[in-house]
Amino acid sequence: MEDTKTVDVLALINTRPFSRYQWLVFAMCFVIVLMDGFDTAAIGFIAPSLVTEWNLSRAALAPVLSAALFGLACGAISSGPLADRYGRRLVLIVSVLVFGLACLSSGYANDLTGLIVLRFVTGIGLGAAMPNAVTLMSEFCPQSRRATIVNMMFCGFPLGAAFGGFLAAWMIPQFGWRGVLYFGGAVPLILTAMLVLVLPESIQYMVSKRKPVERIRRVLARMTPEVPPAEAFTMHESVMHAAGSGGARVVLSRSYILGSSMLWLCYFMGLVIFYGLINWMPVLLRDAGLSPQRAAMVSALFPLGGVGTVLCGMLMDRFNPNGVVAAAYALGAICVYAIGQTVGNVGLLVCAVFIAGVLVNTAQASMPSLAAAFYPTAGRGTGVAWMLGVGRFGGIAGSFLVAELSRQQMSLPGIFSVVAAAGAVSCVALLFKQLTSRQAARSDAQARQPAVH
């Protein structure tokens, strides 16, 4: 008979309605991701003003544009193990503080070198914030709605990037390009103060680290007034790990290393498609005979395609999540291939670009919730962060790949066929991950030990 003085926190979260307090956590994480998208895209919006004011060439501007990408990768890779060791809350607050201060300071930069350094530091904070917001939010969600809610939160990133474009168009004529950076830094600093006062630590993390019972009970009481009296809290996870392991050891353990590798490969290849097409599609379509204005308008449909993210989350909660996301990548690959075949027909081209954007962006946005569900609490922060960090290099590789294919004078259908192959690789990687997940579940079944405190 189960000890009535011990309460399973996962069962409690899974059986209670999603409370106002959990929606408050969602709102804070959503704003973090929103500002992450805004600050990531901000440099692109102010780039034309930089070129004019500082008399820069496009080549000189390239390090400024790429500095944050390298910072994003470094921030994500380094923050995961820290979050699994010191907590999601602390690392998330520090990361928001860092990218807020760095973005604000960027507005005071007077030379290219200083701006490059500050954009790199901004990237570190941004790269650390995203995976920890995903991890924290996923650990406050009931399992039946986790993918839907996390995907909904992740929608803040493209919304933030889009909002940045509209805001920059208004602010730059009024306050100059520095005003965009001031805004992008001030809002995170205000948000940091709110996080310090309101944001709770993950209940699952506290149980796994055997934090004081009263501290766990206080957070649970904010979620539901019906917290059963208990002398200890436990959690029986559907994904387990060897007792005493954590962070990098979990992600790289024998049970998880193959699945981890497939997640990295999948996200990497997805960003090869995204950044390869975002950066080069306008040029490719213009070279294929479209006017510059029409090429830009058609290309803009691709990033708008993230509208399917919430629907994909709902499907992931109802069906096999690996299969759902793998199907999105496979269909996305077909549509990317179709872009190269429909350039001569603008109507078909518009449909191909938009549908490809829906599928590829939806699949990419669903990957963090997929990773969060794959790992146990002890390694979740590291697992999500490392996937996002390794994937960032895919964005860099995608830009260079299309540039090299163009230099080799490959035909337009050929370029899109090569890029589409990356989507096929992502699909196969997730199907292989599904097989390794089953093997991991079988191998861990005999070693399950619930965390109790």
> Is-contact 359 335, C-beta < 8 A?
yes
pLDDT single digits (tens) 126-171:
889 988 998 899 888 888 888 888 888 888 887 787 777 778 778 8
Per the prediction, the chain carries an average pLDDT of 82
CATH topology of domain 248-447: Growth Hormone; Chain: A; (1.20.1250)
Per-residue DSSP letters for 269-304? HHHHHHHHHHHHHHHHHHHTT--HHHHHHHHTTTGG
398 pLDDT tier (thresholds 50, 70, 90): confident
Residue 6: which H helix or E strand, with range? strand 6-8
Structure-block tokens of residue 339: 């872009």
Full-model pTM: 0.79
Q: The domain 6-221: what is its CATH number? A: 1.20.1250.20
Is 80 exceeded by the pLDDT of residue 281? Answer: no
Show me where the domains of the chain are located. Answer: 6-221, 248-447
119 or 253, which is more confident? 119
What's residue 155's pLDDT? 81
Is 50 exceeded by the pLDDT of residue 88? Answer: yes
Equal CATH topology for 6-221 and 248-447: yes
Strand 451-452 vs strand 6-8: parallel, antiparallel, or unpaired? unpaired
Between CA 330 and CA 342 the distance in angstroms is 19
Strand 232-235 vs strand 451-452: parallel, antiparallel, or unpaired? antiparallel
Give the distance from CA 154 to its chain's centroid: 7
What's residue 87's pLDDT? 87
Is 80 exceeded by the pLDDT of residue 261? Answer: yes
Between CA 58 and CA 55 the distance in angstroms is 10
